[in-house]
Amino acid sequence: MFETAIRDAKSAVNSVLERVVERAIVTVAFAVALAFATAAATMYLSELYGARTAYLILAGVFATFGIVAAIAVHSPPIATTADADASGAAGAGEANANRPGQSANSGFFETPADLASVAALIAGNPGIAW
């Protein structure tokens, strides 16, 4: 009676574990690549500016990445038009309490990919003076 349910549960667990292991392998490969890139950047910056300044520069770069990642991860999802229509008049008071047109739990970036696309847009725009 429960054999099919147990078999389906085992299959689902195996599928999830396979995906987790695959993603872990990819993550380790990227971590090793990042380590070598960091070592190369450290050597290059050390030759240009000296060791102390090179380490400070890299610390600033990694701190900036960490702050941007923390903002992207902790920002709540952006409410879509369909969400606003589904909430109806009952949530209208809450939705308008923060900013017009946005719900109470909307954030700046919905996914890290949104953040990456904005960063790529800014980096590729020659009109922005740094």
Return the higher-pLDDT residue of 120 and 54: 54
Contact between residue 122 and residue 128 where contact means Cβ atoms under 8 Å apart: yes
% of the chain with per-residue pLDDT over 70 = 58
Per-chain mean pLDDT for the chain: 76
Question: Can you tell me the distance from the alpha carbon of 50 to that of 9, in angstroms, rounded to the nearest whole number?
Answer: 58
Contact between residue 106 and residue 78 where contact means Cβ atoms under 8 Å apart: yes
Return the higher-pLDDT residue of 57 and 105: 57
Rounded-to-10 torsion of CA 86, 92, 96, 101: 30
Q: What pLDDT is attached to residue 109?
A: 57
Please give the average per-residue pLDDT across 99-113, as a whole number: 55
Query: Cβ neighbours of residue 40 under 8 Å, at least 6 residues apart?
Result: none
Q: What pLDDT is attached to residue 12?
A: 84
Structure tokens at 103: 């719900």
Q: What pLDDT is attached to residue 105?
A: 47
